[in-house]
């Protein structure tokens, strides 16, 4: 019970902090002081207080977009275990619900973008649609590997990778799917090298281009939902990469939070070290994620 | 009544031409009858508004007559337990469909689609005749009852399997045999397209489920083949759908995709039958059957919505529409339900059936200690199909209903009359109901799965024991509730909304023609699948500092019809040109042919052996 409360509290409170950590890392590496770690919370609070401005062409579909995206991502967050603690909701096959909840968020974000009739937003939606076609099979291959390893179809068990499986010949597949999942994480949360969250050149953006016309509380909702998405995917990856657990609850929660923050720092390093890929190179990166996860599966079942 | 489990009720009656005919109703027949009767009624109500007698004096009455005949034919083939009765129902359905498709027979395109359909359906009937003849030869009767193990040789079994696959596959629109489908669905009146796609394709699926389960001891290769056909049909169907510019043609290609998903379920069930795994069989067949229902609900809904759009906007090309959500809010809302459902997204019904198929496919991988079945590779393919379908329906919905109208010269669209909107409502409600409370369907699915499969397995596990549909339903209901809460909260807070023009990155006067078009939206994905689609593009050359007006055109041909069958038919016609000299239209010449043929036949009576021995003997 206590663990469930902590799970929900972390899920809803921690995500904007990750954005702060990433930005702070980037600022430090660039020799700047950078925005405070809690900047994302301030931004969201400020946006929530603003008034609503709506495009003249937009309908109720536009207003539904952020709401659906937030609820879908939050629901997905309830399906995954954090560290060694079980997910609040678990049933056989919840991995499919997990993947399709992201699909639901994507559908409504893209239709909201098209609702404004702006060509830039159409462009962003088109790219998002195309790239997700490649990240989806990669995600399912990764899930297949985890399902085969754990003999279960529930994310709760699948993501409890035991340290022994690294020793017992499953290390290579696990490393490969970690790489694949990392690429999926970068693509789904629109980080460098797939997309640059800070860019202001509309022609080259994906996610930021889709939300050009959202303002005020809607923009706040989207910002919060995308930080939640980042946190959820980071938690999935953290469970696969670091299966080390002590067995004591008071120690395991800080360890899990530490893992997610460490991954955020890694993302910050990566964003400082790399430039964004050319748009037509992005599919190659995603195909490589499919190859990583697919060959991991073949290695496992050979 | 028939949806309950238990022995099938079979009634025999004498039929002088063919011995004793029999009709019967078991849970499988009843399961397929439900969409027929649901949509048969709703569609004919819709037809009254969409195709009124006053505006189409010539064809409206014909349409209603053949609509009724088609429904009756399907009903007959579903309850038939005798091959001839089955074929009777099949042909009534297939021929009425021809007259339904060619309702607008003044249009050349409609006639062409009708004839291609007629050829395809006759090809299918011919194959089925072959299958039943072989059936009669192998079993000694026309009764549709399970063949006993060892009653027929492997070759006969394989022949029966392939004949059934081709004959029923042609009707269901499986990928290489789908060539008649896009044209027929695009050119028929919309409620007829809805019936063809939502209900009639499923008769092919019914045939496959019914007959493949009557054959004993299927080899694993059959299930594998059906699974591969399903996966390729699903993937290529959705990829071709993305390349279409005509809203009804696009929906037609999505039918091919969904039939692919249905066949993936069926293939898994057949693999389960070969491997004696009751859980694969139950999950696969339940997914297959539930997707039959779901597809008939959301695809009919989408076609009726598309009909409403065509009616209101007088246009079928997606690139020329836009902003219809403003002028046709009800159609837009119904179409959104259909679009979300067909993408397989929670909380609607499409998710539930895809969930069952996924669960079955994943289940083949996680048996402890056993080798992994290759069937599991279909799961990522299904994921890709889902993502592509999502892209496609974002394109359709966004371009047709959202944004601003792309043709400022055209008159604004009008919302359709209540008679057309009302039939969509029950379909949409059913989508929500199955999505929200899927556990209700557990007993129905159990009975329908048991009807064909109980012959091999003594007991089958119930669907609800294998798939946590209760949890899925709970999650869906929670999602609906949370979305409703956030929406209500926003609505309360956002009563004062300032309207402003769309911000186009500083551009001073954004116009409707500057919007992203459907073609440009699909272009990225089209280029990824250019190897299959091979889009024809006529790009203008832009030269000089002041180029003249130019336009760009791109078109995606059908892979089988336009690139294989039509060229092959042309080649055949050229090849057989020499034969024309024998056919000049002179009666005398034909009598001569008859005489020559008779003489040749008489020659066979000559005892050549005797003749030769008497000539050269001794």
- The count of structural domains within chain A is 1
Q: What is the pLDDT of residue B18?
A: 62
**Residue A216 and residue A50: Cα distance in Å, rounded?**
5
Q: What is the pLDDT of residue B20?
A: 67
Q: Closest approach of chain B CAs to the CA of A212, in angstroms? A: 7
Considering only CB atoms, A141 lies closest to which of B380, B397, B524, namely B380
List the domain range (segments joined by +) for residue A240.
Answer: 2-301
**Residue A124 and residue A133: Cα distance in Å, rounded?**
15
Say yes or no: ipTM exceeds 0.90: yes
Window B:365-394, CB contacts with A under 8 Å: 365-366, 368, 371-372, 376, 379-384, 386-388, 390-391, 393-394
Considering only CB atoms, B505 lies closest to which of A129, A148, A202, namely A202
**Residue B114 and residue B105: Cα distance in Å, rounded?**
9
Subunit contact B394:A54, Cβ cutoff 8 A: no
Is B351 in contact with B318 (CB distance < 8 Å)?
Answer: no
Using the CB atoms, write b or e for A213-249: b if 16+ within 10 Å.
bbbbbbbbbbbbbbbbbbbbbbbbbbbbbbbebeeee
- Asked if B20 is an interface residue toward chain A (Cβ–Cβ < 8 A), one would say no
Subunit contact A140:B380, Cβ cutoff 8 A: yes
Q: Which residues of A touch B523 (CB under 8 A)?
A: 126
Q: Any idea which residue has 């939902």 for tokens?
A: A225
**Residue B14 and residue A85: Cα distance in Å, rounded?**
69
Evaluate if residue B378 carries a pLDDT over 80.
yes
Considering only CB atoms, A115 lies closest to which of B390, B403, B468, namely B403
> What is the rounded average pLDDT of the residues B302-324?
90
Q: What is the pLDDT of residue B269?
A: 94
How would you class B605 by CB atoms within 10 Å of its CB: exposed for 0-12, middle for 13-18, buried for 19 or more?
Answer: exposed
Considering only CB atoms, A111 lies closest to which of B402, B468, B522, namely B402
Subunit contact B487:A64, Cβ cutoff 8 A: yes
**What is the 3-state secondary structure of chain A?**
CHHHHHHHHHHHHCHHHHHHHHHHHHHHHCCCCCCCCCHHHHHHHHHHHCCEEEECCCCHHHHHHHHHHHHHHHHHHHHCCECCECCCCCCCCHHHHHHHHHHHHHHHHHHHHHHCCCHHHHHHHHHHHHHHHHHHHHHHHHHHHHHHHHCCCCHHHHCCCCHHHHHHHHHHHHHHHHHHHHHHHHHHCCCCCCCCCCCCCHHHCCHHHHCCCCCHHHHHHHHHHHHHHHHHHHHHHHHHHCCCCCCCHHHHHHHHHHHHHHHHHHHHHHHHHCCCCCHHHHHHHHHHHHHHHHHHHHHHHC
Q: Which of B524, B527, B532 is the best residue to mutate to test the A interface, defined by the most A CB atoms within 10 Å of its own CB?
A: B524
Regarding predicted confidence, which is higher, B171 or A195? B171
Q: What is the pLDDT of residue A203?
A: 67
Short-list B192, B47, B49, B172, CA closest to B121? B172
In chain A the first and final C-alpha atoms are separated, in Å, by: 41
Q: Which of A104, A106, A298 is the best residue to mutate to test the B interface, defined by the most B CB atoms within 10 Å of its own CB?
A: A104
| Nearest chain A alpha carbon to B482 | A71
**Residue B562 and residue B556: Cα distance in Å, rounded?**
10
Using the CB atoms, write b or e for A55-75: b if 16+ within 10 Å.
bebbbebbbbbbbbbbbbbbb
| Nearest chain A alpha carbon to B389 | A133
- Asked if B461 is an interface residue toward chain A (Cβ–Cβ < 8 A), one would say no
Q: Which of B394, B474, B495 is the best residue to mutate to test the A interface, defined by the most A CB atoms within 10 Å of its own CB?
A: B394
**Residue B12 and residue A68: Cα distance in Å, rounded?**
55
Residue B477 CB coordination number (10 Å): 14
Subunit contact A118:B376, Cβ cutoff 8 A: no
Window B:324-363, CB contacts with A under 8 Å: 325-326, 329, 332, 336, 340, 343-346, 351, 354-355, 358-359, 362-363
Considering only CB atoms, B403 lies closest to which of A52, A57, A110, namely A57
Window B:400-439, CB contacts with A under 8 Å: 401-404
**Residue B143 and residue B539: Cα distance in Å, rounded?**
60
**Residue B183 and residue B599: Cα distance in Å, rounded?**
48
Subunit contact B359:A93, Cβ cutoff 8 A: yes
Subunit contact B486:A67, Cβ cutoff 8 A: yes
Residue A181 CB coordination number (10 Å): 24
Q: Give the torsion sign (CA, A122, A123, A124, A125).
A: positive
Q: Closest approach of chain B CAs to the CA of A155, in angstroms? A: 13
Evaluate if residue B351 carries a pLDDT over 80.
yes
Query: B536-538 and B553-555 as β-strands: parallel, antiparallel, unpaired?
Result: antiparallel
pLDDT in tens, B257-301: 999 999 999 999 999 999 888 889 999 999 999 999 999 999 999
Is B254 in contact with B389 (CB distance < 8 Å)?
Answer: yes
SS3 category, B546: coil
Instruction: Classify residue B344 as left (phi > 0), alpha (psi -120 to 50) or beta.
Output: left
**Residue A173 and residue A300: Cα distance in Å, rounded?**
6
Subunit contact B379:A140, Cβ cutoff 8 A: yes
**Residue B300 and residue B335: Cα distance in Å, rounded?**
10
Return the structure tokens found at B80.
């038939």
Q: Which residues of A touch B323 (CB under 8 A)?
A: 57, 117
> What is the rounded average pLDDT of the residues B41-66?
88
Q: What is the pLDDT of residue B266?
A: 95
Q: What is the pLDDT of residue B7?
A: 54
Is B331 in contact with B415 (CB distance < 8 Å)?
Answer: yes
> What is the rounded average pLDDT of the residues B580-603?
88
Give, for all 302 residues of chain A, the pLDDT tens digit: 888 999 999 999 999 999 999 999 999 999 999 999 999 999 999 999 988 888 888 888 898 899 899 999 999 999 999 888 888 888 988 999 999 999 999 999 999 999 988 888 888 999 999 999 999 999 999 999 999 888 888 988 888 877 777 777 788 899 999 999 999 999 999 888 888 877 766 666 788 888 888 888 899 999 999 999 999 999 999 988 887 777 788 888 999 999 999 999 999 999 999 888 888 889 999 999 999 999 999 988 87
Is A190 in contact with A208 (CB distance < 8 Å)?
Answer: yes
Is B521 in contact with A122 (CB distance < 8 Å)?
Answer: yes
Query: What is chain B's mean pLDDT, rounded?
Result: 88
**Residue B324 and residue B305: Cα distance in Å, rounded?**
12
Is B117 in contact with B97 (CB distance < 8 Å)?
Answer: yes
Return the structure tokens found at A59.
């309908």
In chain B the first and final C-alpha atoms are separated, in Å, by: 82
Subunit contact B515:A122, Cβ cutoff 8 A: yes
- Asked if B171 is an interface residue toward chain A (Cβ–Cβ < 8 A), one would say no
Considering only CB atoms, B387 lies closest to which of A97, A103, A217, namely A103
Query: B497-500 and B553-555 as β-strands: parallel, antiparallel, unpaired?
Result: unpaired
| Nearest chain A alpha carbon to B492 | A52
Considering only CB atoms, B326 lies closest to which of A59, A75, A123, namely A59
Is A3 in contact with A249 (CB distance < 8 Å)?
Answer: yes
**Residue A43 and residue A40: Cα distance in Å, rounded?**
5
Q: What is the pTM of this model?
A: 0.93
Window B:300-329, CB contacts with A under 8 Å: 322-323, 325-326, 329
Is B214 in contact with B143 (CB distance < 8 Å)?
Answer: no
Evaluate if residue B316 carries a pLDDT over 80.
yes
Return the structure tokens found at A146.
């985890």
Subunit contact A153:B363, Cβ cutoff 8 A: yes
Q: How far apart, in Å, are the Cα atoms of B200 and each of A100, B87, B210, B255?
A: 29, 15, 16, 11
**Residue B88 and residue B95: Cα distance in Å, rounded?**
11
> What is the rounded average pLDDT of the residues B20-29?
82
Query: How long is chain A?
Result: 302
Q: Which residues of B touch A94 (CB under 8 A)?
A: 471
SS3 category, B90: helix
Q: What is the pLDDT of residue B1?
A: 47
Is A202 in contact with A239 (CB distance < 8 Å)?
Answer: no
Distance of CA B218 to the CA centre of its chain: 25
Subunit contact B381:A137, Cβ cutoff 8 A: yes
Is B291 in contact with B261 (CB distance < 8 Å)?
Answer: yes
Considering only CB atoms, B471 lies closest to which of A59, A91, A110, namely A91
> Maximum CA pair distance of chain B?
118
Q: What is the pLDDT of residue B618?
A: 62
Q: What is the pLDDT of residue B5?
A: 54
Q: Where are the alpha helices (DSSP H) in B245-277?
A: 247-275
pLDDT in tens, B102-156: 988 888 999 999 999 999 999 999 999 999 999 988 888 888 888 887 777 888 9
**Residue B116 and residue B71: Cα distance in Å, rounded?**
22
Evaluate if residue B313 carries a pLDDT over 90.
no
Q: Any idea which residue has 């006067």 for tokens?
A: B509
Subunit contact A111:B354, Cβ cutoff 8 A: no
Domain map of chain B by residue range? 9-482, 584-618
pLDDT confidence band for B16 (50 / 70 / 90): low
Q: Which residues of B touch A132 (CB under 8 A)?
A: 387, 390-391
**Residue A184 and residue A289: Cα distance in Å, rounded?**
7
């Amino acid at each position: 019970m206590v663990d469930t409360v902590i799970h929900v509290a972390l899920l809803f409170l921690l995500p904007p902090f990750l954005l702060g950590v990433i930005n702070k890392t980037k600022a430090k590496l660039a020799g700047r002081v950078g925005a405070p770690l809690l900047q994302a919370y301030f931004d969201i609070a400020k946006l929530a207080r603003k008034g609503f401005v709506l495009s003249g062409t937009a309908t109720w579909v536009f207003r539904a977009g952020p709401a659906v995206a937030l609820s879908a991502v939050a629901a997905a967050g309830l399906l995954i275990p954090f560290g060694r603690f079980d997910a609040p909701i678990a049933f056989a096959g919840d991995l499919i619900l997990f993947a399709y909840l992201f699909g639901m968020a994507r559908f409504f974000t893209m239709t909201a973008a098209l609702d404004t009739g702006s060509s830039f937003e159409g462009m962003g939606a088109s790219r998002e649609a195309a790239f997700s076609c490649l990240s989806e099979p990669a995600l399912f291959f990764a899930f297949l590997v985890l399902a085969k390893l754990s003999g279960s179809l529930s994310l709760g068990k699948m993501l409890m990778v035991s340290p022994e499986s690294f020793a017992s010949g499953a290390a290579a597949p696990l490393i490969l799917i970690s790489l694949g999942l990392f690429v999926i994480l970068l693509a789904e949360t629109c980080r460098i090298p797939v997309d640059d969250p800070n860019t202001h050149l509309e022609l080259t953006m994906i996610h930021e281009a889709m939300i050009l016309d959202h303002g005020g509380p809607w923009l706040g909702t989207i910002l919060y939902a995308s930080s939640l998405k980042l946190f959820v995917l980071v938690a999935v990856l953290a469970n696969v990469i670091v299966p080390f657990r002590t067995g004591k609850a008071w120690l395991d929660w800080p360890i899990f939070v530490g893992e997610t923050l460490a991954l955020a720092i890694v993302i910050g390093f990566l964003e400082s070290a790399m430039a964004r890929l050319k748009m037509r190179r992005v599919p190659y990166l995603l195909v490589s994620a499919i190859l990583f996860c697919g060959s991991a599966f073949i290695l496992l079942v050979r | 009544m028939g949806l309950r489990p238990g022995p099938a009720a079979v009634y025999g009656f004498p039929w002088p031409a063919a011995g004793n005919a029999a009709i019967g109703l078991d849970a499988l027949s009843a399961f397929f009858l439900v969409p027929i009767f649901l949509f048969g009624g709703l569609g004919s109500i819709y037809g009254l508004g969409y195709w009124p007698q006053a505006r189409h004096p010539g064809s409206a009455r014909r349409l209603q007559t053949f609509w009724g005949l088609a429904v009756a034919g399907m009903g007959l083939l579903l309850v038939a337990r005798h091959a001839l009765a089955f074929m009777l129902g099949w042909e009534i359905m297939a021929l009425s469909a021809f007259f339904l498709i060619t309702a607008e027979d003044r249009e050349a395109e409609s006639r062409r689609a009708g004839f291609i359909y007629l050829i395809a359906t006759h090809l299918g009937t011919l194959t089925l005749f072959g299958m039943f003849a072989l059936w009669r030869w192998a079993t000694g009767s026309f009764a549709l009852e399970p063949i006993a193990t060892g009653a027929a040789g492997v070759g006969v079994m394989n022949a029966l399997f392939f004949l059934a696959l081709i004959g029923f596959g042609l009707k269901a629109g499986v990928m290489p045999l789908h060539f008649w489908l896009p044209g027929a669905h695009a050119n028929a009146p919309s409620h007829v397209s809805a019936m063809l796609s939502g209900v009639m394709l499923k008769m092919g699926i019914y045939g496959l489920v019914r007959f493949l389960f009557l054959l004993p001891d299927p080899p694993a290769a059959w299930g594998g083949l059906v699974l591969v056909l399903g996966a390729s049909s699903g993937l290529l169907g959705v990829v071709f759908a993305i390349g279409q510019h005509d809203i009804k043609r696009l929906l037609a290609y999505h039918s091919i995709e969904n039939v692919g998903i249905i066949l993936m379920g069926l293939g898994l069930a057949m693999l389960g039958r070969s491997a004696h795994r009751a859980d694969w069989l139950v999950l696969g067949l339940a997914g297959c059957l539930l997707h039959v229902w779901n597809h008939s609900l959301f695809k009919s809904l989408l076609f009726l919505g598309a009909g409403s759009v065509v009616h209101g906007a007088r246009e079928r090309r997606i690139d020329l529409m836009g902003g219809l959500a403003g002028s046709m809010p009800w159609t837009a809302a119904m179409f959104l339900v259909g679009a979300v459902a067909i993408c397989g997204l929670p909380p609607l019904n499409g998710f539930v059936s895809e969930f069952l198929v996924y669960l079955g496919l994943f289940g083949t991988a996680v048996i402890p200690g056993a080798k992994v079945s290759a069937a599991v590779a279909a799961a990522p393919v299904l994921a890709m199909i889902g993502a592509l379908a999502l892209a496609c329906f974002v394109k359709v919905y966004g371009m047709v209903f959202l944004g601003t109208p792309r043709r400022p010269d055209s008159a604004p669209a009008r919302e359709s009359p209540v008679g057309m909107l009302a039939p969509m409502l029950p379909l949409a409600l059913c989508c929500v109901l199955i999505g929200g409370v899927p556990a209700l369907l557990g007993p129905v699915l159990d009975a329908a799965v048991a009807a064909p499969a109980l012959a091999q397995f003594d007991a089958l596990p119930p669907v609800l024991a294998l798939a946590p549909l209760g949890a899925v339903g709970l999650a869906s209901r929670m999602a609906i509730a949370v979305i409703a809460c956030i929406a209500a909260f926003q609505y309360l807070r956002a009563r004062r909304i300032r309207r402003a023009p769309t911000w186009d990155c500083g551009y001073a006067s954004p116009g409707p023609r500057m919007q992203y078009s459907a073609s440009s939206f699909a272009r990225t994905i089209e280029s990824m699948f250019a190897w299959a689609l091979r889009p024809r593009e006529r790009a203008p050359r832009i030269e000089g500092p002041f180029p003249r007006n130019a336009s760009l055109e791109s078109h995606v041909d059908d892979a089988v019809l336009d690139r294989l069958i039509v060229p092959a038919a042309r080649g055949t016609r050229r090849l057989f040109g020499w034969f024309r000299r024998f056919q000049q239209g002179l009666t005398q010449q034909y009598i001569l042919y008859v005489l020559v043929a008779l003489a040749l036949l008489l020659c066979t009576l000559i005892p050549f052996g005797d003749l030769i021995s008497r000539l050269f003997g001794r």
